[in-house]
Amino acid sequence: MALKLRKNLSPAPPPDCPLMTCMAFLGGAWGPNILWYLSAGPRRFSELKSDIPGVSPKMLTTRLRELEHDCIVERTVKPTSPPSVEYALTSLGQELVPAIQAIVAVGHKLKKLRQQNASRRSRNAARDSAPAPRAAP
């Protein structure tokens, strides 16, 4: 017998759901990392590249351009010799920082729970694989 489908009590998302719009910024490749490092202040491209191991220069450039296009990051060319470029969060980008910090806080809790569960599983496995005590003759 199939289970009865329960009615969803959550309100319907508004048209052009703002949650999905916001998550598109946070969920994109390397986006949270870029926001995290820029939250402490402006960074040059090479600094961001060294901050985020594993990101290719092409991907970092692409993502920075997307975030700049979306008014999350601003790019400033400094009149130095040679010219240098700095990236910083816009005021809209700064509004995303508390969301990133909240995700990091929950991530720490999840990581701790995962470690506790792994430790518990390994103790249980060791206990279950131990030879049974022998009965006295």
pTM exceeds 0.95: no
Q: Indicate the CATH number of 22-125 among 1.10.10.10, 3.40.50.2300, 2.60.40.1120, 3.40.50.970.
A: 1.10.10.10
The pLDDT tens digits for 97-127 are: 998 899 899 999 999 999 998 888 887 777 7
* Per-domain boundaries in the chain: 22-125
- Asked if 121 contacts 129 with a C-beta cutoff of 8 angstroms, the reply is no
Beta strands in 4-100 (DSSP E): 43-44, 73-78, 84-89
pLDDT confidence of residue 132? 62
